[in-house]
Amino acid sequence: MRNRILAVSGAALGGLTVASIATVVHAEAFPVVVTASLVVVALYVTALRLVTDDRLVATAGAIAVIATVFMLSQRSAGGSVLIQGNLVGNIWVFGSAVIAGLAIAWPQIRRSERD
């Protein structure tokens, strides 16, 4: 039980880190960086599914990505915005949510047992 709690916490912390870094840099050089950011999110959540064989761990990572992108898309108290309401911002917000959701919803891959 303790290992599962640590795995879920680590996945959530990793999702927070991936989403925070990608959110800060997503609008730098338009199609390259936002595409790379989406690929990183896809690889992160997919790796969680493949390495742990536990959907809860991957779900924690995906929810952390989605929640972090949502929180960073809000206007701050000083009025600054990290994710603008333009094409790049929309691609990042909706693309990261769709990719994280698809990685979680994907059916379990059964590994064949070899002798």
Do residues 104 and 58 lie in contact, with contact meaning Cβ atoms separated by under 8 Å? yes
* DSSP per position, 32-51: HHHHHHHHHHHHHHHHHHHH
What pLDDT was estimated at residue 33? 96
What pLDDT was estimated at residue 53? 81
What pLDDT was estimated at residue 24? 95
Q: What span, in angstroms and rounded, lies between the C-alpha atoms of 100 and 16? A: 13
User: How far, CA to CA in Å, does 2 sit from each of 6, 45, 79, 83?
Assistant: 6, 22, 41, 37
pLDDT along the chain (115 residues), means of 10: 96 98 93 96 94 92 98 92 93 97 84 65
What pLDDT was estimated at residue 107? 84
User: For the whole model, what pTM was predicted?
Assistant: 0.90
Where are the domains positioned within the chain? 2-105
